[in-house]
Structure 1
Amino acid sequence: MKVVSRGLDARSSVVRSVFICSVVALCCFGLVAWPASVSAEQLISLRNGMVLRGLYLEVASMNQNAFSAGNEGGIQNRPIWVVDDGLRRTYVHRRGMVAAEPRDVPDLHERIQFFQPVPDGGDQVASIGQTLGVTPFNQFGRRRMTIRGPNGAPFPVLQGITELTAKYAKVEALKTDDSIKLDMRIATSSISSDQLRDIFRRSTDPKDVDERLNVVRFFAESERYADARRELVRILDEFPESADLKPIVAQYVENEASQLLDQAALRRESGQYELAREILDRFPTSVVSRVTRVKVSDLVASMDETQQQIETVKQQLSELIGGLREPEQNALDAIVSEIQTELTPATLPRLSDFIRMGGNSTIDPETRVSLAIAGWLLGNGSGETNLKIVLSLIEVRSLVREYLVEEDPGKREEILQRLSSLEGARADYVAKMLPLMKPPRINALATDEMIQPDPVVAGMFHVGLDQASFHQFQAEDPSAIPPASYVVQLPPEYDPNRVYPCVVALHAAGAPAETQLNWWSGVPQESFLQGARDENGDGPADEEPTSMMRLGHSIRHGFIVVAPRWTRGGQPDYEYTMREHDAVLSSFRHAMRHFAIDADRVFIGGHGAGGTAAWDIAVSHPDLWSGMISISSRPDKTLQHYNANSKYVPVYIVKGDKDGVPLRDFGAIYDRYMTYDHDAMIVLYRGRGLDFFSEEADRIFEWMKTPNHRRPPPPEDLEVGSMRDGDRFFWWLEWQEMLPGLAINPILWDEAERLKAAPVRARVMANNEVLISQAPSDSFTVWLTPQMPLDFKEPIAVRYRSRRKDFNFDQSVGVMLEDVRVRADRARPFWGKVQIP
């Protein structure tokens, strides 16, 4: 093993090693500045809230085919920044994405080099087929990767680690009878600690304290503080002369504690209060510093304060209800019982008005009770103090629930008639009420035979047809709209009163939908809460686990993952058809009706053909998504023509730079996303082919959780394009069918005479008008909401060419409820609509 330490001699003395260890440990807390002689990377802050770290350079284009034009003077500026961290290259547009000038930061990476029998010659690999499997690294840092060869047959590649840093491992092809040259990078985080320890044990001289300390530094920079601490303790035991390193052990303990504290805070933020409290209750406070103990104590006190506030609200509400007349008590009995049962840290903010005034004895009990009930139904800030209206709101919510699940149009009309006589059935009230309601079909989770909880995996449900039945259905009637069929994974401590961000994840062609749950939520593992096992995890050797659980990213971050079934049997690739769109969207809307999904934080993503489908569905229906994640996709057809739509959806594209020749094959498409009006990050992994890129999940979840990646309000100016009959709904503008000659059948794409998106332009005017200036149809539905923005107290005019229709809002909720029933979007209901002609 050879160590290349930037700015420092690898053969440093023990004293120098002590200094380096101290700096690595203390830098985690910002206490030590690195010497100016150490080479630097840059921190680049993006407008979307992300921060990139690496070496950056400016390029004129992502399109490899455009370089010749640049050499001839055709491209003068360099608007694209490429940030290279050794593992991957991330492309962003300078004006559109970069928030501030880059800032130099120390490059902390230890570079550990290993000898491997790398071939001197051999063919340079330009493209890698699909990865079929890899073995774990052995003690020599070698593994076997099997890829799909040029003829489709499996092709084995023997690889070895030649360089290792805290961020990445450089893995090169080794000498064989058919040697090739391949430099591949994988994230160090994807290599288990057990494998790393075996590699270091084999390559490190156990009697050389400097080499042993290199391993400690590596683990510390990798933020594997437990491994660093254990190795350092062994060094202290075996080398008594290194006793002055003992303070570093305590520092690593602090770092471990900080990670545990961060995990507790993350679980609390994700709505997993019991798990967060369990982490804090078991926190090793006896071995950490006073500062860390105070942080733990503060977090526990904050959680205790919230729980005490919940109990106080319950008690105050019960006392106030007892002071009302018996008829009011009886009318409020059910809703008060609901609040007492379902009041949690997630729902407590609804009662902020009551929390401020509930204990004020100068306000009469009826007013204070009204504030509490109205807050529960309408949310914080409702300010409703009229008990008569509050009682009406309770009945309104009940009827709204009935309407949203009623299949019979006649019965729905009867419900609307009943609502029309209620004082609380105002559109503004109902619009506030809808997002706070439980999913309208939540009861179906226990009664619908098509929704089955997984018998083994906690929080997992199977909905609709299984994979084989889904394929059979489509084979029998290819023209039919596919039924909602998907698998879903809920996070721990799922609460239907709390809305959760969601990923609609599309599987690769030929893969089952369940593979997406494995990627986003983790492969099911035996639960550490097995009741039949003792506290050490021991149990009968032949005992089968009764419960499995996922421990992956969506679980920790509190996301719901919905994985629709969307392909035909034997389908090799995405086909750009409405059948596929319908399969995804019907499953998504079904999930919205049954699970507590935050409609303003829904992302669509996928792998391989699923990544291409996610990309196309995102730009074809941009009003639905907070962002799109496309991994190992191959954009084609409509994706070459929907650039006008793409600016409305943040995109995160991940690909291997040896998955074909991506900058030659897709560079022109990528370039369209490298403009000032796109929120786009394009990531190319070095030396990787068609892969799943599990190591990118950390950064993807960080990207999804940035405040900027929430669904924005409906745009006032619409400028989009459409090429298919199904792409006919954009926010508030919809049409039934396109004019002749404009729609293109994706299956007959190569036979189309004209490949061009039909432009759609419409605008909300300042004078309470909506103007449609260009569209691929002569008949429209214009959906109206105050978010557009429009003044619903005044007449609203909709104009298209010489046609004009006026809309006067009458406070009825029929359009709103029908819209929510059909689209399942309770966060953004439309209040009215206008038909033209």
Structure 2
Amino acid sequence: MRAAFALGLLLGTAQPSPAGDAVLTNGIRLTGKPVPIQALTTRLQRQKSGATITYSILMVDNGLARYFVANNLVADIDHSVELSSLETFKLKQSISGRKRMFGSIGSYAGVTPFDEYGRRRIALRTAKGRENVIQGVTRIHPRHLTVTGLSHTWEHGMATTSIPPQILDRMIRKVTDHSNSDNRRAIARFYLQAEMYRQASMELKSIKRDFPELAARMDEMGTNLRQLQAGQLLAELNRRRDAGQHKLATAAVRSFPVEGMSAVVLRQVRELDSSGRKQREELAKARMLLGDLQAQLTNEKDKSSAAMFRSIVNRELDLESLGRLDAFSKLSGDDTLSPKQKLALAYSGWVTGSAQAVTEFATAARLWDARFLALEYLRADTIRQRDDLFGQLDELEGIGPDTVGRLIPLLPPPVETPGVEPGVAFEVEVAAGQTKPKRTVDEEPEQATYRYSVLLPPEYSPNHNYPLIVALHPPERTPTDELQWWGGTREKPGQSQRHGAIVIAPSYADKSLTHYDYDTRSHTIVLAAINDARKRFQIDSDRIFLSGHGMGGTAAFDIGMSHPEMFAGVMPICGFCEVFAKWYWRNAKSVPWYVVGGEFDRDATEQNANVLNRMLTNNCDLIYAEYIGRGYESYYAEIHKLFDWMGRQRRAALPKKFEAQILREADDRFYWVECRGLPKKVLLAAANARAGSGRVRPMSLEIKINDGLPGRTTIYVRSGAEQNVLWLSPELVDFDKRISVRLNGRAVRINGQSKSSDFLRPSVRTMLEDLRKRGDRQRVYQVRLPL
């Protein structure tokens, strides 16, 4: 935007004047007018008492929306931003006899496109039926349009990018003089500032044709504009490459417009092209070397093993997995190594990573045996099968928890999903929740089945780690509609495909529901869908984001606060944070939130203010975007900001100290602690919370790890549950130290012994069971400790 503004200055009259962007600690910039405030609403502000007035919230108003953040999230207020003199156009509208607008605005029953005069008709759903409202655009700004009610008292903004370019252009032409060079340059400045570079380029060429005396200046501007376009395209190419979309990036580099480009841009293009070509050459060379070296083996058993390994590697090898062969590629020309040793480097590096590659072929073969047995374990349907497979794995020499921990991140997804096409929505059926008792000891419990829809990004590869967006639909839309909001279709790709994210949309609610009912069955379905997707696709569990619209936004609030350990961020859009959120917001302080709503969306502003205000004043990582004068909408204009925000988030590290409030039996796991069998008074409190009356006092879970004593770690647990289970990993405790546990102030026996402290031994079986159930490759627990 700054570059476009500077370029716009060369076109004429615009003069820079400072604004005040808020720069957050995570790098996000909130553009607009920053104002410190005490509370989200005047009602909450009046409730504040005390002699000291504190302004713990920062509001940034850009005319379209107000953004609220906690002051501790603000790293800087940048007063050097030159934005207040952006080019604008005013449209005259006839306003008379307007009706009073409603106190809240629900969904639209119908909307006509804007005409060339900037007018449209909206049909609103109201308690009295449909109400037709006529609106007119009164101001066009590079970032937003001001829309005013002509038949009703109503004013709000709309993102400029939400208007089709041809309609926007017709509106601008109606209020400018085509024969006036200053007007035409104003149009070019506008398009530059709006970063609509294609339209800006067309206008510059048109000005040059119509006003020959300005030709030299327009040529200079055209050259500078091409540099801006090139920078935009290069950023997109790097984004696509980072998302694993190498074919698309390669094709785009080959067709990159080089005419008139600066030396800096041309160098970057050459570097991209050279890097891609080098990777493709290395991949082809690796395939050839594996075949050549295999042919040089003399032992028939080694030949047979190498042939099997090579067959699998050839099938799985792509640009995303090429790095596993780095050690092999670097040492393939070392004459001191035999063909067998070089192949050991390749095949051991393939299953445990290049940094762990070894030159002993027998060791590499055992690693492949372990890989095969681990995959079969994860795929096994019965306990008896898993017992047998683990027995074989346990007998392998040198295969312990550390080795299995290195194998797990590089395993292919254990559940195959044939016939999947990137860019095309498809449905998956998943089991979630026991419904019938087992008939035999070996039989797995019969499960209820639920469905979720999936959209994969272009060039999906099981060797690339993808972020996951869990999208919960509102009652008026289907799961497929929700997928398309995020990702579009194959013919018209949307933002999730561009950014390389997988999107799933669980069928989490009965079709008859019009409001979220806080039934934990929705939690079960959503969590089961996530766990199943992690077993089918290569999902980075440190980048799972929960979102939803309307009823789905309310569910996102509830599920995100009930299971904070699952998510890198939560994005409710037009949802309500009520009922359990009044107590559960404390559970989610470690999770980043991006909440989007409309100022007149039903009574959501008032309903949500208490919880959101508590979160902001308690320094939660929260951005709250409130669209001015808007109601119940999907707010697609916010999607670019949402992806920018997601790109900066990762799931928080496991906390060694935390507190959680629990009201429902289904909310039985927080981070690495399970609590089962809640006190009856807590279950009664949950019923009171849902009813909105009576005393509500959640069960408090308090956890602390103290590892300050030499050679000893103590875990303190305070819980009212009947049974508590700890899931431990090296991220939490040092297994070389003695570990003791104190539950509600009393020492707990470790490993069923009389000792109050002991060494805990990491277990491969525990690791595989945890992975089989949850599918979380990035966080695998090694010890399960019931208390």
By the TM > 0.5 criterion, same fold? yes
Q: Report if aligned partners of 1:121, 1:181 keep a CA contact under 8 Å in 2.
A: yes
1:83-123 residue CA offsets vs partner (Å, 9 max, x unmatched) = 1122111111112x112343421115212111111347642
Q: Rate the CA distance shift 1:126–1:119 in 2: closer, same or farther, 3 A.
A: farther
- For structure 2, list consecutive stretches of 5 or more residues without a partner in the other structure: 436-445, 752-758
Match of 1:277 among 250, 255, 261: 250
Corresponding position: 1:68 with 2:12: no
Inter-partner Cα distance in structure 2 for 1:206 and 1:667? 49
What is the CA distance between 1:82 and its match in structure 2? 0.9
- Counting aligned pairs with the same residue, the percent is 29
1:231-269 Cα offsets, whole Å, 9 max, x none, are 221222122232232321232233233322222222111
Which of 413, 421, 429 is 2:403 aligned to? 429
Q: Aligned equivalents of 1:248 and 1:622: distance in 2? A: 50
Work out the CA distance in 1 between the residues paired with 2:781 and 2:588.
Answer: 24
Q: Name 1:491's counterpart in structure 2.
A: 457
Shift of 1:582: 1.0
CA distance 1:319–1:27, shift in 2 (3 Å): farther
Q: Aligned ranges for residues 610-689 of structure 1 at < 5 Å? A: 610-660=552-602, 662-675=604-617, 677-689=619-631
Alpha-carbon distance, 1:803 to partner: 3.8
SS of the equivalent of 1:724 reads coil
For the pair 1:200 / 2:163, whether they are aligned, the reply is: no
Show the counterpart of 1:527.
none
| 1:396 and 1:424 in contact (8 A); partners too | no
* SS of 1:806 mapped into structure 2: coil
Matched-pair contact (CA < 8 Å) for 2:4–2:195: no
Out of 429-438 and 745-754, give the one that drifted further. Answer: 745-754
User: Which of 288, 291, 300 is matched with 2:264 structurally?
Assistant: 291
1:190 aligns with 2:167: no
Q: TM-score, normalised to structure 1's length?
A: 0.86
**Matched residues in 1 for 2:188 and 2:556: separation?**
43
Select the residue among 46, 63, 68 that pairs with 2:24: 46
Per the normalisation by structure 2, the TM-score is: 0.91
| 1:710 CA drift (Å) | 1.0
- Bigger relative contact order, structure 1 or 2 (CA pairs below 8 A, ≥6 apart): 1
Residue 824 (structure 1) aligns with: 775
Match of 1:127 among 85, 100, 104: 104
Contact 2:470 2:503 in 1 (8 A): yes
Distance 1:310 1:780, change over 3 A: same
Q: Is the 8 A contact 1:510 1:571 kept in 2?
A: no
Deviation, 1:626, is: 0.7
Q: Between 386-395 and 32-41, report the one with greater CA deviation.
A: 32-41
The range that moved more, 735-744 or 650-659, is 735-744
1:464 maps to a residue whose letter is E
Tell me the residue number matched to 1:302: 275
Tell me how far apart the structure 2 counterparts of residues 68 and 74 of structure 1 sit (CA, whole Å).
13
One-letter identity of the residue aligned with 1:67: Q
Work out the CA distance in 2 between the residues paired with 1:521 and 1:424.
Answer: 45
- Select which of 172, 184, 189 maps to 1:212: 184
State the alpha-carbon separation in 1 of the partners of residues 59 and 785 from structure 2. Answer: 47
Match of 2:698 in 1: 757
Q: Is the 8 Å Cα contact of residues 430 and 532 (structure 2) preserved in structure 1? A: no
Residue 460 (structure 1) aligns with = 425
Aligned to 2:748: 804
Distance 1:829 1:657 in 2: 43
Name the structure 2 match of 1:393: 367
Q: How does 1:726-741 map to 2 (within 5 A)?
A: 726-741=666-681
1:27 aligns with 2:6: yes
**Residue aligning to 1:18:** none
Alpha-carbon shift at residue 73 of structure 1 (Å): 4.7
Kept in 1: contact 2:686–2:696 (CA 8 A): no
C-alpha distance in 2, partners of 1:403/1:91?
49
Q: What is the aligned partner in structure 1 of residue 784 from structure 2?
A: 833
Give the aligned partner of residue 532 of structure 1.
Answer: none
Paired amino acid for 2:63? G
Question: How far 1:210 moved relative to its partner?
Answer: 1.7
- Structure 2 residue matching 1:283: 3-state secondary structure: coil
Q: Deviations over 1:604-641 (max 9, x none)?
A: 10000101101111110111111100100111111111
Secondary structure of 1:719 counterpart: strand
Does the CA-based 8 Å contact 2:69-2:616 persist in structure 1? yes
Which residue identity lines up with residue 130 of structure 2 in the other structure?
A: P
Contact kept in structure 1, 2:38 and 2:57, CA below 8 Å? yes
Which residue pairs with 2:78 in the alignment? Answer: 102
CA drift of 1:284 comes to 2.0
Say if 1:119 and 1:181, in contact at 8 Å, map to a contact too.
no
Task: Specify every segment of 5 or more residues in structure 1 that has no aligned partner in the other structure, as ranges.
Answer: 1-20, 447-451, 474-479, 525-547
Q: Is the 8 A contact 2:726 2:786 kept in 1?
A: yes
Q: Which amino acid aligns with 1:793?
A: D
Residue 785 and residue 28 in structure 1: after superposition, are their counterparts in 2 closer, same or farther (change >3 A)? Answer: farther
Counterpart of 1:486 in 2: which secondary structure?
A: strand
Q: Distance in 2 between matches of 1:720 and 1:328?
A: 55
In the alignment, what sits opposite 2:36? Answer: 58
Deviates more, 1:710-719 or 1:406-415: 710-719
Residues 640 and 206 from structure 1, CA distance in 2 versus in 1: closer, same or farther, beyond 3 angstroms?
same
- CA distance in 2: counterparts of 1:738 and 1:273, whole angstroms: 51
User: What SS is found at the alignment partner of 1:106?
Assistant: coil
- Aligned counterparts of 1:432 and 1:118: Cα–Cα separation in 2: 69
**How far apart are 1:41 and its partner, in Å?**
1.5
* Whole-angstrom CA distance in 2 between matches of 1:32 and 1:163: 24
Relative to structure 1, the CA distance from residue 610 to residue 268 in structure 2 (aligned partners, 3 Å threshold; closer, same or farther) is same
Q: Compare 339-348 and 623-632 and name the one that shifted more.
A: 339-348
Do the aligned partners of 2:89 and 2:172 also contact (CA within 8 Å) in 1?
no
Encode CA deviations 1:327-364: one digit per residue, 9 max, x unaligned: 22221222223223432221122233334433333344
Query: Is the aligned partner of 1:84 residue 2:61?
Result: yes
| Change in CA separation of 1:465 and 1:258 when aligned onto 2, cut-off 3 Å | same
- SS of the aligned residue for 2:727 comes to strand
| Structure 1 partner of 2:736 | 793
Give the match's secondary structure for 1:641: helix
Answer yes or no: is 1:343 the counterpart of 2:317: yes
Shift of 1:703: 0.4
Residue pair 1:520, 1:553 contacting (<8 A) in 2 also: yes
Matched, 1:236 2:236: no
Please name the residue that 1:330 is paired with: 304
- The alpha-carbon deviation at position 57 of structure 1 amounts to 0.8
Helix, strand or coil for the counterpart of 2:236? Answer: helix
Match runs of 1:449-528 below 5 Å:
453=420, 458-464=423-429, 483-522=449-488, 524=489
Give the letter aligned to residue 616 of structure 2: M
Q: How does 1:554-633 map to 2 (within 5 A)?
A: 554-633=496-575
The separation in 1 between residues aligned to 2:13 and 2:720, in whole angstroms, is 63
Change (3 A) 1:404 1:826: same
Of 405, 411, 414, the match for 2:379: 405
Report what 2:443 is aligned to.
none
Alpha-carbon distance, 1:756 to partner: 2.6
- The 2-side partners of 1:764 and 1:321 are apart by 51
* 8 A contact 2:579–2:692 mirrored in 1: no
Deviation at 1:315, TM superposition (A): 3.6
Alignment check: 8 A CA contact 2:430 2:528 kept: no
Contact 1:799 1:805 in 2 (8 A): no
| Change beyond 3 A, Cα 1:35–1:751 | closer
The code of the aligned residue for 1:48 comes to N
What is the DSSP-based 3-state SS (H/G/I as helix, E as strand, rest coil) of the residue aligned with 1:132? strand
How has the CA–CA distance of structure 1 residues 798 and 752 changed in structure 2, closer, same or farther, with 3 Å as cutoff?
Answer: farther
Using a 3 Å threshold, how does the CA distance of structure 1 residues 150 and 85 change in structure 2: closer, same or farther?
same
Q: Kindly tell me: are residues 101 and 505 of structure 1, through their superposed partners in 2, closer, same or farther at Cα, counting changes over 3 Å? A: same
* Distance in 1 between residues matched to 2:117 and 2:474, nearest whole Å: 34
Q: Please name the residue that 1:535 is paired with.
A: none
Taking structure 1 as reference, are residues 74 and 420 closer, same or farther at Cα in structure 2, changes over 3 Å only? Answer: same
